[in-house]
Structure 1
């Protein structure tokens, strides 16, 4: 714990290059698909290819993350993602790339992320003091936000001047830097029961039990799942809204992504300030949910001439989203035992994203039948309603002040009764 700042500095320096290169590649692929097809269904299928392996594997990867050495897991996962990007580069080089091949390789990249993400999130409480977790989450969000800001800008420039082959190879370089930085740190692994016989289904059940052992945490998870159900499919329509409704191109897409990243950067900065350690984290989550919903609702009412307002709202939604997610991650990190965090994060990701799959499959109907603007209005109003509802659930609100092993006295009395 005494050297946690140095450890995080080394890890973050490598992860920054990895996230930056992934952001460049992500923008380039979405732009290539948009320009090649102009189809809402294709964009939705690309997001589905990215999410589905993450969701399915997430039910199991946490078990292995909690068993295996977490540093080695992150290195292998990053290396596999880089390998997939290298294959994409080869296909673009020979000009043999097809949309279905992009889907497959996006899915394989997602499989690698299904191991890397929970391993990284589960390692944080073992590296930093609990009192510093909000600060760590904020700084981590800021680093990711810088990548989100620079990535689209670099992606738009590189797509204009370079072949897609070289853009894909940037991800290989970024992963190599991230893996190298991890070799210079030690990440402790949680203590395990020596007599416990490995059993995947039992360990998954234990992970689910850790998630729902507390009534307030159970209700909060349900709210977050509902928010994700509306947020993810609607988010898939951002590029189409930029191009189709506002008449933008690669430059405008880049501006939207950069402003989203700037909002996330500001949100991460807010989370990292000392004051945020003392506030009720659930109240923060509820407020950010309402703000996020309000931005979507207003976006759905904008005329074609209001692109500047759309960009400003995108930045606000990025700020709210960064605070929302960082705060929720800290709640999980402080409510769940470190030995189960790998399972909890991976299972949570799967459960929260699973309801969004029907929405993604219906994206074509949403865009053509309901309408792009109406989709944003419906999503926005629904998210605001969930955020407002959570204010009136005492067990959720009390959760914002508790940490593992420190339940409020009132809740303990209720449990005894």
Structure 2
């Protein structure tokens, strides 16, 4: 495999490890959901497990980001992958000996969430340490491409693997994927000119410095606000999608599979498209316009519902456009943070951006899950689309106002 296509050999190792571990994660998610369904047949237990699985990351995320800024990020991603692999292997052992209980799954899920709160900011922060500044956009787009590939292929191969090999062996595949990822990450060589935070400082001082940095760096703060808005309304789409699929012609489950796959394909195509963009084309305006376009697609789905279109193709067109726009937006916000954040602060900044996204998604799930009991898919999609467009217009207006103020001060 040509390392030039994949930026350099260091990034190639990181990228391959990410593909393998994320595919394993997709297998694990499907297998675990199916196991909980078989064991309890309770939506409440499933919902509680999802909450428990994200709660430690929400509580410890910023603290973990501060520690990531102190430590060697290569070792952080290797050690966290090994620990996550061991935790999944523990599920395998309990399953083999017929000892696996719901509370085991809850404890292990919470533990994986805690460990992942270190892994996520570390793997985002490590990219500038192995890639030249001029090629950061390519690196981010390649990383985002992994999400598209795994979203398209993961559920399909995961379901096949469960039917062929059974749940226990699918868990085993996920555990092994973490170990393979760790081996590949061990091949990475970091640049020597990157600084990390001073470990002699109190950790609380580091966290305070991170908050002050964000407070004073308005551009990054705006980007994080955009992330929160986008995640919230994308959460609404995830809630409404199964009900939308059920209402269309054909088999509801198959419709949902097609819709999720086409959304993943959009992520993949968007990542391929954005790879050709240069760093100097990246701006907040571009990011906001992408989110606004997602709002327009939401309006399109609402209008399709209004005129009672029952065939799946028009909805799939909207979804592939949403996926492509989201992929481009993710690459842009990652690059904006990387280019405007000091080396020894990226762990804290990325942990905040991840935290914001992880908080806004469950809020969206709860909010729109309740609203759907009192409203319709059409109204909620039109509402979401209008909100995104209006909020993006407000952000653009404020950006232009700030530009005018800066020019007057000069």
TM interval, short-chain normalised: 0.7 to 0.9
Cα distance change, pair 35–312 in 1 and its aligned pair in 2 (3 A) = farther
The answer to whether structure 1 residue 15 and structure 2 residue 43 are counterparts is no
Task: Tell me if structure 1 keeps the 8 A contact 2:239–2:369.
Answer: no
**TM-score for both structures, normalised by structure 1:** 0.83
Alignment of 1:363-374 (within 5 A): 364-374=369-379
- Over residues 289-334 of structure 1, what are the superposed CA-to-partner deviations in whole Å (9 max), with x where a residue is unaligned? 1222233343345358333333332222111111111100100000
Cα distance change, pair 155–389 in 1 and its aligned pair in 2 (3 A) = same
Is the partner of 2:69 in helix, strand or coil?
Answer: helix
In 2, Cα distance between the equivalents of 1:281 and 1:38?
Answer: 48
The answer to whether structure 1 residue 334 and structure 2 residue 328 are counterparts is no
Deviation at 1:202, TM superposition (A): 1.2
**1:382 aligned residue (377, 381, 387):** 387
Cα distance change, pair 94–372 in 1 and its aligned pair in 2 (3 A) = farther
In 1, Cα distance between the equivalents of 2:330 and 2:152?
Answer: 18
Cα distance change, pair 394–367 in 1 and its aligned pair in 2 (3 A) = closer
What is the match of residue 289 of structure 2?
Answer: 287
Answer with 110-119 or 227-236: which moved more: 227-236
Cα distance change, pair 34–366 in 1 and its aligned pair in 2 (3 A) = farther
Task: Tell me if structure 1 keeps the 8 A contact 2:248–2:311.
Answer: no
The answer to whether structure 1 residue 215 and structure 2 residue 215 are counterparts is no
**1:318 aligned residue (308, 316, 323):** 323
CA RMSD of aligned residues (A): 3.3
Task: Tell me if structure 2 keeps the 8 A contact 1:210–1:336.
Answer: no
Cα distance change, pair 248–166 in 1 and its aligned pair in 2 (3 A) = farther
Cα distance change, pair 128–164 in 1 and its aligned pair in 2 (3 A) = same
- Over residues 334-378 of structure 1, what are the superposed CA-to-partner deviations in whole Å (9 max), with x where a residue is unaligned? 010011101111122223433444443445423433455544443
**TM-score for both structures, normalised by structure 2:** 0.85
Task: Tell me if structure 2 keeps the 8 A contact 1:293–1:379.
Answer: yes
Task: Tell me if structure 2 keeps the 8 A contact 1:24–1:167.
Answer: yes
Is the partner of 2:114 in helix, strand or coil?
Answer: helix
What is the match of residue 264 of structure 2?
Answer: 261
Task: Tell me if structure 2 keeps the 8 A contact 1:366–1:372.
Answer: no
- Over residues 47-99 of structure 1, what are the superposed CA-to-partner deviations in whole Å (9 max), with x where a residue is unaligned? 43343222211120011111112111101211222233334445555666666
Is the partner of 2:188 in helix, strand or coil?
Answer: coil
Cα distance change, pair 314–236 in 1 and its aligned pair in 2 (3 A) = same
In 2, Cα distance between the equivalents of 1:112 and 1:58?
Answer: 10
Answer with 137-146 or 81-90: which moved more: 81-90
Deviation at 1:185, TM superposition (A): 1.8
Residue ranges of structure 1 left out of the alignment (5+ in a row): 399-408
Cα distance change, pair 72–220 in 1 and its aligned pair in 2 (3 A) = closer
Alignment of 1:373-412 (within 5 A): 373-394=378-399, 411=406
In 2, Cα distance between the equivalents of 1:193 and 1:106?
Answer: 30
Task: Tell me if structure 2 keeps the 8 A contact 1:390–1:396.
Answer: no
In 1, Cα distance between the equivalents of 2:43 and 2:379?
Answer: 15
Task: Tell me if structure 1 keeps the 8 A contact 2:130–2:189.
Answer: no
Task: Tell me if structure 1 keeps the 8 A contact 2:141–2:275.
Answer: yes
- Over residues 153-174 of structure 1, what are the superposed CA-to-partner deviations in whole Å (9 max), with x where a residue is unaligned? 2123223333222222221121
- Over residues 96-127 of structure 1, what are the superposed CA-to-partner deviations in whole Å (9 max), with x where a residue is unaligned? 66666555443332222211111011111122
Alignment of 1:42-57 (within 5 A): 45-57=48-60
**1:191 aligned residue (195, 198, 207):** 195
What is the match of residue 180 of structure 1?
Answer: 183
Task: Tell me if structure 2 keeps the 8 A contact 1:45–1:361.
Answer: no
Task: Tell me if structure 2 keeps the 8 A contact 1:44–1:233.
Answer: no
